[in-house]
Structures are given as C-alpha cells and as structure tokens.
Structure 1
Amino acid sequence: MAGTVLSVLVAVGDSVTDGQDVVVLESMKMEVPVQSEGAGEVSEIHVQPGDFVNEGDPLLELK
C-alpha cells in the first residue's frame, strides 16, 4: 500500500519476530501498520517519518 511513513517502530540492531509491526504508514487518512515478513535482526532502515513509499518499496532489511 502506498502512503507516508508516520513512524518507524524499530532501530538498527533490534530483533524482530515474524509479523511484528515495524513501520506505521498513513494512507487515505488511515494509520496502517506494516509487519515484518520474517524474524531476524534489523540491519538497515531505508525510510524515515515523512517519506512517501509505494507498494513494494523496501522499508528495512533483516539479517
């Protein structure tokens, strides 16, 4: 879903579980949580609050 990044809920080095909320987007005046697609450690974050993203854009990387 395309939208504007409202908040990034994790930081580089954080451990995340499969399905954990990692980013919150605003799309059509609704807050939409985005969940991780797997478990791992956050190695890189590609977005920050205020960025506009399109569906399929990488938001972060896990290792």
Structure 2
Amino acid sequence: MAIIDIKTEITGNVWKIVAEVGQAIEEDDPILILESMKMEIPVTAPEGGKLVAILTAEGDTVTEGTVVARIEA
C-alpha cells in the first residue's frame, strides 16, 4: 500500500470538503472545493484508494502545492 499526497494546484480558500476520511475514492473523485477569484475549483484524487486523512478545514487558506489530503492506494 502506498500513501499518496493530494496537493492543491492553485492558491485559494477551502470552500467545502466533500469527502470523508475512510471513504473509498475513485480516480478523479472530488475531495474538496477551493474558491479562488470567485471560481469554484475541485481538488480531485489522482488515483483510486481509501481517503486516510484530510489535512485542512473549511475556511482555511491554502497555497499552490499544499498537501490537503492523503489516500492509501
């Protein structure tokens, strides 16, 4: 089993967390939604697995490259 970090691609605010720890995740499933410049940008899983950690909270500000979640593939 490998742990895979899920990183943001842009700077923004965590608008909504849509997945839960322990949930089975498929490739491209949304984990959370960022708000940046009045746009909603989903942060998705790069591959399938089990979501083992969410490392941010709704309302947090994140920068490009921030690890926001981890999945076990």
Class of the TM-score when normalised by the shorter of the 2 chains: over 0.9
| TM-score normalised over the length of structure 2 | 0.82
* Structure with the larger RCO, 1 or 2 (CA within 8 Å, 6+ apart): 2
> Which residue number in structure 2 is paired with residue 50 of structure 1?
59
Structure 2 Cα separation of the partners of residues 23 and 16 of structure 1: 12
The percent of aligned pairs where both chains have the same amino acid is: 32
Which runs of no fewer than 5 residues in structure 1 stay unpaired?
A: none
The runs of at least 4 consecutive aligned structure 1 residues that moved more than 6 Å come to: none
Displacement after TM superposition at 1:56 (Å): 0.8
Q: In structure 1, what is the equivalent of residue 24 of structure 2?
A: 15
- Distance across 2 between alignment mates of 1:15 and 1:47: 19
Higher strand share: 2
Match of 2:34 in 1: 25
Counterpart of 2:49 in structure 1 is 40
Uncovered stretches (5+) of structure 2, i.e. residues with no partner: 1-9
Q: CA deviation at 1:47?
A: 0.8
TM (normalized to structure 1)?
A: 0.94
